[in-house]
Amino acid sequence: MVGVVTTTVILATVLLAAAGTRVAVVRSQGAADAAAVAGAAAAVGLVPGAPCAAADRTARGNGAQVSSCDVADAVVRIRVGLRAGPFTVEAAALAGPPPVDR
């Protein structure tokens, strides 16, 4: 009987840890997406400020830290990190206007 209870507790702990990690992955991707859109909006003049500064403000508002920000024309590439317990979950995003056909 003790073995069944111990196994159940261990399994529940592993499942909760996995669920927590999944939540952190989704949150970090959402923060990266929002930061990239904010940076692209600043790059085309829809919001005031520098693109990477706008991306950083948005990422921090979502609980993440920008680890890299690259701007080419009006396209912004962002990589963010989000603390999840003892780990840091990273995500990347790209935003900008569609390419112009020539």
At 61 the pLDDT is 95
Distance (Å, whole) CA 56 – CA 54:
5
Is the pLDDT at 102 greater than 70? The verdict is: no
Residue 33, phi-psi category: left (phi > 0), alpha (psi -120 to 50), beta (remainder): alpha
User: Looking at 7-11, 18-22, 26-30, 61-65, which range is the least confident one?
Assistant: 18-22
- Its pTM stands at 0.81
**Percentage of the chain surpassing pLDDT 90?**
62
Contacts of 62 (CB under 8 A, 6+ apart): 27, 30, 31, 34, 35
- Mean pLDDT over 72-89 rounds to 90
Six-digit token string for 45:
């003049």
Domains in the chain, CATH or no CATH each: 2-95 (3.30.1300)
